[in-house]
């Protein structure tokens, strides 16, 4: 009899552990790690708003889940929320001692979108110097060093350094593109070239 009671108590205790280890509906709540994994999957599938929600939920569970800040930055950037993206990338970089080219690249894009051209130039050059063939793989390999090169060219144009803007265009996109950046006509041709690279 004692043995049976012991078994019954053990079963009941195990059941209680299961129930209280789950949400109100008995479903196991996702961990921060799982939410981050889901966020990247949604990001890769093009569901940027869903990705943002998952990354934010992960941070709600664990404020030290640093990768969630990286994912959040990219997800917000894709939604044209440059300010929110900047905040996420800056937070991520402040919490890691590693050389994080993915975060720096994203932050360069966020700065550029806000016309913070000097900051965009510094970060884009930093990433391209560290990894000339950088890409945001495996999350989106179509985002790569050419995007940073275009950020450089447009940002140099934005601060009126037309000669340097032209050099970047020639180095990364079209070595045969020759204009005089010191003339109004040359500046317009360069601006048209940059617009074509952006929309093309």
Q: What is the 3-state secondary structure (H, E, C) of 137-182?
A: CCCEEEEEHHHHHHHHHHHHHHCCCHHHHHHHHHHHCCCCCCCCCC
With tokens 């959040």, the residue in question is 72
For residue range 112-161, list pLDDT tens digits in order: 999 999 999 999 999 999 999 999 999 999 999 999 999 999 999 999 99
Same domain, yes or no: 108 and 91 = no
Which pLDDT does position 26 carry in this prediction? Answer: 61
pLDDT over 90 at 12, yes or no: no
In a domain, 11, yes or no: no
Please tell me the number of Cα atoms within 13 Å of 2 on its side-chain side. Answer: 0
The arithmetic mean of pLDDT across residues 57-80, rounded, is 97
Domain count, the chain: 2
Question: Residue 5's pLDDT is what?
Answer: 37
Tell me whether the omega of the peptide bond preceding residue 134 falls within 30 degrees of 0, making it cis: no
Residues 6+ apart with CB under 8 A from 29: 22, 23
120, 192: one domain: yes
Are 67 and 112 found together in one domain?
Answer: no
End position of a domain, from candidates 98, 123, 139: 98
Mean pLDDT of the chain: 90
Asked if residue 130 and residue 110 are part of one domain, the reply reads yes
Tokens coding 60: 């709600």
Task: Please check whether residues 117 and 79 belong to one and the same domain.
Answer: no
> Residue 33: which domain range?
18-98
CA distance 132 to 130: 6
Residue 142 sits in a domain of what CATH number?
A: 1.25.40
Contact 125, 140 (CB under 8 A): no
**Residues 129, 192: one domain?**
yes
Tell me if 92 sits within 8 A of 69, measured CB to CB. yes
* CATH number of 74's domain: 1.25.40.10
Nearest to 106 by CA among 132, 141, 82: 82
By residue count, the chain amounts to 200
Same domain as 186, residue 136 = yes
Q: What angle do CA 77, 78, 81 make, to 5 degrees?
A: 45
The pTM is what?
Answer: 0.85
């Amino acid at each position: 009899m004692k043995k049976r009671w012991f078994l019954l108590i053990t079963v009941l205790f195990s059941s209680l552990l299961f129930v209280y280890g789950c949400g109100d509906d008995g479903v196991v709540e996702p961990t921060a790690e799982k939410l981050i994994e889901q966020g990247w999957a949604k990001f890769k599938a093009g569901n940027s708003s869903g990705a943002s929600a998952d990354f934010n939920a992960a941070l709600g569970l664990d404020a030290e889940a640093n990768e969630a800040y990286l994912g959040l930055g990219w997800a917000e950037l894709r939604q044209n929320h440059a300010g929110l993206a900047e905040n996420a990338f800056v937070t991520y970089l402040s919490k890691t001692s590693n050389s994080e080219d993915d975060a720096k690249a994203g932050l360069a894009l966020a700065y550029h979108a806000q016309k913070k051209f000097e900051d965009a130039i510094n970060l884009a050059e930093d990433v391209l110097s560290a990894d000339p063939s950088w890409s945001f793989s495996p999350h989106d390999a179509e985002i790569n060093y050419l995007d940073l090169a275009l950020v450089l060219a447009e940002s140099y144009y934005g601060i009126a350094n037309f000669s340097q803007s032209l050099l970047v265009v020639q180095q990364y996109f079209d070595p045969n593109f020759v204009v005089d950046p010191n003339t109004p006509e040359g500046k317009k041709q360069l601006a048209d070239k940059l617009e074509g690279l952006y929309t093309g």
